[in-house]
Amino acid sequence: MTFAQVQGNQEVKQALIGMVDAGRVPHAILFHEDDGGGAFPLVLAFLQYLYCKHRSDGDSCGQCPSCGKIAKLIHPDVHFVFPTASGVLSEQYMEPLRRLVAEHPSFSEAELLEALGLEGKIPMIAVAESRRLLEKLSLSALEGGYRAVVIYLPERMNAEAANRLLKMIEEPPQQTQFLLISHQVEKVLVTISSRCQRIRIQPAGQAAEAGFAEAGLLDELMTALLGKDLLGALEVSERIASLPSRECAKAFCIFAADRLRQMFLCQQGVQGLGTCAPEVERWAGKCRKTFPRQALEVLDRAVTLIGRNVNLKILFADMTDRLFLLI
């Protein structure tokens, strides 16, 4: 899977390509997608790009042995972990996963369960899986380059498994790349998610436009807030309130929260140059140091209230007022 074969998410692709080109790939990346949102093919395209020795024009060649092995999920240094039935390791389910990815790389959780013959069950990532992973990572890379671990649904780890994974992410073995794909980031152990660079994946097609709308609205809102233009900011808040559905309004808040986290990291100097969006760097330089954290609380509150059927116009006007005082 090359980047060219992955639909949509241009911004994310550019960010991933930029990381590899600049030699600044964070050792752990957490992709946050809606179920079936297409993070899996993006991860494969990213891995191909990372490993390929014949990259050109911001893409992998798609033809060398390394690209072929990654595309077919048979690269010996790329490990996959996903929820399974108890007592069975992910590696025992690789065949059905390969068939599913060959057929439909943007698979949903339900499609994965069906492929694994686990319909109607709630599979988990067990502690044995973390143990096995540690064993694999204690060996050197078989093909002498990067080792990569793709964890699909880290929110489905029990506490012990998650704590073992945390240790691996905290003290990563040399040249090991962790790529996590989550549908419910709020359920991922905070100590894990806070050590990952977070990337929001917009679903392909229509919703990519929604993502575009979110980015545009946030840009306008931040410009008005930073310009101390309360009326302008309130005008943007009305447009947020009149997004097509409450889900869209919520998606806006989640998108904005993600950007605020990036601003925070940017201000702390944690985020390597070139890995956060240019507008995020610009905002981070202009707002108060306390803004990202306090604004995150305001957004969390807004998300909770959206779920409680309050009037969106009032809610977003209130949110904007609060942000105006904090910035």
Q: Does 64 bind Zn ion (CB under 5 A)?
A: yes
- State which residue, 46 or 252, has the beta carbon closest to Zn ion: 46
Please identify which residue in 60, 177, 262, 275 interacts with Zn ion, judged by CB under 5 A: 60
Site string for Zn ion, 8-47 (x = CB under 5 A): ----------------------------------------
Report in angstroms how near the CB of residue 204 gets to Zn ion at its nearest.
24
The yes or no reply on residue 61 touching Zn ion (CB under 5 A) is yes
Which residue in 224, 253, 222, 76 sits closest to 147, CA to CA?
A: 76
Residues in region 40-59 near Zn ion by CB under 5 A:
52, 54
Total number of residues that touch Zn ion (CB under 5 A): 6
Task: Provide, rounded to whole angstroms, the least separation between the CB of residue 133 and Zn ion.
Answer: 26
CB of 76 to Zn ion, least distance (A): 16
* Nearer Cβ to Zn ion (55/183): 55
Name the residue with tokens 């100097």: 269
Q: Which of 248, 243, 223 is nearest to 233 (CA)?
A: 223
Output 4 or 270, the one with its CB closest to Zn ion.
Answer: 4
Q: For residue 277, state whether it binds Zn ion (rule: CB under 5 A).
A: no
Short-list 57, 10, 82, CA closest to 277: 10
Residue 67 contacts Zn ion per CB under 5 A: yes
**Span 228-267, contacts to Zn ion by CB under 5 A:** none
Which lies closer to Zn ion via its Cβ, residue 60 or residue 262?
A: 60
DSSP code of residue 91: G
How many angstroms separate the CA atoms of 146 and 130, rounded?
Answer: 19
In the complex, minimum distance from the CB of residue 19 to Zn ion, in angstroms, rounded to a whole number: 18
CB of 72 vs Zn ion, minimal distance in Å = 13
Strands 28-32 and 176-182: parallel
Q: Residue written as tokens 């309360």?
A: 230
Identify which of residues 143 and 220 has a Cβ nearer to Zn ion in the complex. Answer: 143
Instruction: Write out the E strands in the chain.
Output: 28-32, 78-81, 147-152, 176-182, 197-200
Give the residue carrying structure tokens 């709020």. 186
Comparison of 61 and 134: residue with beta carbon closer to Zn ion: 61
Q: Which residues of 89-116 are buried (b: 16+ CB within 10 A; e: fewer)?
A: bbeebeeebeebbeeebbbebeebbebb
Across-strand partners of 78? Answer: 148
Note the residues at the interface with Zn ion (CB under 5 A): 52, 54, 60-61, 64, 67
